[in-house]
Structure 1
Amino acid sequence: MTTARIELPPKLIPVFSGEADVRGAYGGRGSAKTRSFAKMSAIRAYMWDQAGRSGQIVCGRQFMNSLADSSLEEVKLAIADEPWLAGQFEIGEKYIRTKSGRVYYTFVGLDRNIDSIKSKARILLAWVDEAEPVSDIAWTKLIPTLREEDSELWVTWNPESDESATHKRFRAASDPRYRVAEINYRDNPKFPLVLERQRKRDLLQRPEKYGHIWDGDFLTITDAVIFQNRVSVEEFAEPPEGTRFFYGADWGFAKDPTVLIRFWIDDDCLFVSHEAFGHGVEIDETPALFDSVPGSRDWPIKADGARPETISYMRRKGFNISAAEKWPGSVEDGIAHMKGFSRIVVHERCAHIAREFRLYSYKVDRVSGDVLPIIVDDHNHGIDAVRYGLDGYIQARGGTGVWARLAG
């Protein structure tokens, strides 16, 4: 038997492993998700053809006025990328099929042709690309057309809203037969230099759109973002010798990460230079995580006091760590203090907390669109760590010192 080596971004290997009813990927630009799914669809077509199966692969998009708007060219390019695969297909201007003709591609627009899909014979695979705007009605009609015992639905999309039907069906749902992964530019081993240059331009020139374009974040209402227009992400050098460093830690709970942030203050600006984010970190693994941040054993660390046993363990392991003070309203007071800096500058290497600063938001009334004075408890683990690190600098409302200066 001949064996072929298929290159995929590592994050997609589990997506295409094992049995599944749905395989999917979501994220930002440059992740290679569309090209990867196009390639894997062709490999499936080849495998079915070799097994003597007959049927079609339906490639859908919500809006498709012509073949130019379809996935046709993506599939052609993906096949051409694999010389051994290219010889197994007949490819024309408007069609793709295996040499035997047993397996062929069909390209449809769901907004106009969803009802016609019901009559299509033997759909082996349906792949919906750019799936964010697909309506719940369209999904309800499409899914029952997959009637073969091993038929699968593949979905790829760039997220825009947590209210979209695609998000609710395939990302928010928990189903053991759904294999869906988030994948972004940093997960693509072949991320091209031309896109890297564009990414950096967007980071500097369009920070309000950067997260959606490159990190697969939802489009946010700018007025709801707590630190809007206050944070920049860029490279910067270490500060002069003698600078006072701050370290703040937040502990992971269930799916939440354990976090350590290193920062300093200079000329009324807060500089975040290093981060450590670890998911599923056991208590005995935490020292190694903290050691990845320079100077973490040399400087005081202020941490979330909700885990006194972890703080005690870390002290025994040689870290100068203690619990940060909390009080009713300490979150709001900490945010007010942080917003009091003229700028918050995050180093490019700190991708996790940079993303949090773009997403940390007030609640928005879904009916009126009003921004409410309620902080959404999400996208805040690194930001909480900074707040803990500022322990002693943040004071409760009605106090003196820094808070009084900001309130005045």
Structure 2
Amino acid sequence: MTELKINPHFEDFIYDWDHTNYLLVGGYGSSKSFNTALKIILKLLSEKRTALVVRNTFETHRESTYALFREIVKDHLELHNQFNFTLNPMQILFPNGSKIIFKGGDSTEKLKSLVNISVIWIEECSEIREEVYHELKGRLRHPTLSLHTLLSTNPVSKDNWTYRFFFKDDLKDYFRLNDEELYEKRIIKMEDTYYHHSVVTDNKFATDKYIEALQETKEYDPDTYRIKFEGRFGFSGLRVFSQFQTMPHDEIIAKIRKIQNPSRKCGMDFGFATSYNCLVKLVIDKNENILYIHYEYYDKNKTDPETAEDLKDFAFTKELIKGDSAEPKTIRYFRQQGFNMRSARKYKGSRLQYTKKVKRFKKIICSDECPNVIRELQWLTFKKDSKGIIKEDEFSTDPHSLSAIWYALDDYDHIDLKGDKMKELTKESLGIW
């Protein structure tokens, strides 16, 4: 290699191959991608290996990872003329027979034919699905060489699988590492995983102007500052329910008992393989405009008879359940089993109207015995379109519990500030689907 000045914070990472997993979390411009690519090049020059580089979509490689490898080889390797870069198929052939191939993570079928992969780099790993990560781990095998997976990402929501898998998942009562400890120590080697945290000031080649631009976001966009400059997990974007809070179950039940004329609601969203059956029970304090969520049922991969068995108490109590009208056969089955289940209204624009209805509560208080509702709604954010404009009826994740809440509130009308009920929208005015 020609003379190459390495950022000191990455030197240990570049030459460490004692671990199976390497997770690099960092802010913008911290040089984590550059140093990951350099690490792979050095390894493949010293040993004949095949490395796989994955991004969520294949099309993004050409202007990012592929271009980065090409830049490093061209600018820093004296033997750069002996490398062969091809676009169809997209790969890099080394003088010693090593090879880097590039794939998209949006189709696991395209990954199943890969053989003798001993190094995998998942760039922007938070963008791929968790099942793709596990599929990739299954592709990692070689009869003689050590196996390594490198993951790099800008931190996003704590609901993302990357955080839940490598740090903690409250839903599964799983804990591996406190992310605050990583921010403090910067590098942590724990069992088979090497954790690395970096920020733009770790990059000795970042310009003062670029650093200042990132620092300025603290004044007008603290969420962006946390992600881009501090490189910390949290939540990303505009929260859907800023009034959402949790409470111990005993306390929430005590508050519910004190409500005069409480309005009790129950809603259910249906799923099976990829989505969940979710049922929630709500209590509304109309006078205080507070929504209490005190019960959840959340499961998948169960047939209607199996789910009905799980919820058989509802067939006994005859509590009204509002269900997803898109599943009339499921609702009919539950009714035949003795459940008091009815279809909730669905009409053009209902997602937006239902969301606004939920947002109108002064407080949304959820029992700590509803972990899935908490996981889905506490840090739920709106999606944005390609121009960065908020889409008020689309969200960062697919919250099944929110759908169940929508249906539960189907026939509930808020009281406006004058004490009058909201006028109920008619089918004709909304255009029923």
* TM-score when normalising by structure 1: 0.53
**Aligned partners of 1:270 and 1:73: how far apart in 2?**
52
- Pair 1:373–1:177, CA change in 2 (3 A): same
Aligned residue runs from structure 1 range 176-325, under 5 A? 178=139, 184=165, 185-186=168-169, 191=175, 221-223=236-238, 225-227=239-241, 229-237=242-250, 238=253, 239-240=256-257, 243-252=262-271, 254-266=273-285, 267-291=288-312, 297-325=317-345
Percent identity between matched residues is: 18
What residue number does 1:92 align with? none
Residue type at the aligned position of 1:385: A
- Residue 171 of structure 1 pairs with residue 155 of structure 2: no
What residue number does 1:329 align with? 349
Residue type at the aligned position of 1:67: D
1:392 deviates by 1.3
Residue type at the aligned position of 1:314: F
Given that residues 321 and 408 in structure 2 are in contact (C-alpha distance below 8 angstroms), is that contact kept between their aligned partners in structure 1? Answer: yes
- Residue 153 of structure 1 pairs with residue 98 of structure 2: no
**Aligned partners of 1:324 and 1:116: how far apart in 2?**
60
What residue number does 2:77 align with? none
Given that residues 393 and 402 in structure 1 are in contact (C-alpha distance below 8 angstroms), is that contact kept between their aligned partners in structure 2? Answer: no
- Residue 144 of structure 1 pairs with residue 99 of structure 2: yes
Aligned residues: 279
Given that residues 360 and 379 in structure 1 are in contact (C-alpha distance below 8 angstroms), is that contact kept between their aligned partners in structure 2? Answer: no
- Pair 1:284–1:170, CA change in 2 (3 A): closer
Given that residues 250 and 382 in structure 1 are in contact (C-alpha distance below 8 angstroms), is that contact kept between their aligned partners in structure 2? Answer: yes
Given that residues 263 and 274 in structure 1 are in contact (C-alpha distance below 8 angstroms), is that contact kept between their aligned partners in structure 2? Answer: yes
- Pair 1:154–1:345, CA change in 2 (3 A): farther
* TM-score when normalising by structure 2: 0.50
Residue type at the aligned position of 1:311: I
1:121 deviates by 1.5
What residue number does 1:120 align with? 46
SS in 1 for 2:240: coil
Given that residues 124 and 151 in structure 1 are in contact (C-alpha distance below 8 angstroms), is that contact kept between their aligned partners in structure 2? Answer: yes
Show structure 1 runs of 5+ residues with no match. 1-61, 76-107, 129-133, 199-207
What residue number does 2:383 align with? 363
Aligned residue runs from structure 1 range 95-114, under 5 A? 109-114=35-40
1:305 deviates by 1.5
CA RMSD of aligned residues (A): 5.0
Given that residues 170 and 178 in structure 1 are in contact (C-alpha distance below 8 angstroms), is that contact kept between their aligned partners in structure 2? Answer: no
1:319 deviates by 1.7
- Pair 1:191–1:301, CA change in 2 (3 A): same
Residue type at the aligned position of 2:344: A
1:118 deviates by 2.9
Deviations 1:188-242 (A, max 9, x none): 77737x95999xxxxxxxxx89xx9xxxx9975422x322x22113324213188
- Pair 1:322–1:141, CA change in 2 (3 A): same
**Aligned partners of 2:325 and 2:361: how far apart in 1?**
25
**Aligned partners of 2:92 and 2:9: how far apart in 1?**
17
Show structure 2 runs of 5+ residues with no match. 1-6, 21-33, 55-60, 70-90, 102-113, 141-148, 150-160, 182-222, 425-433
**Aligned partners of 2:11 and 2:315: how far apart in 1?**
58
Residue type at the aligned position of 2:277: T
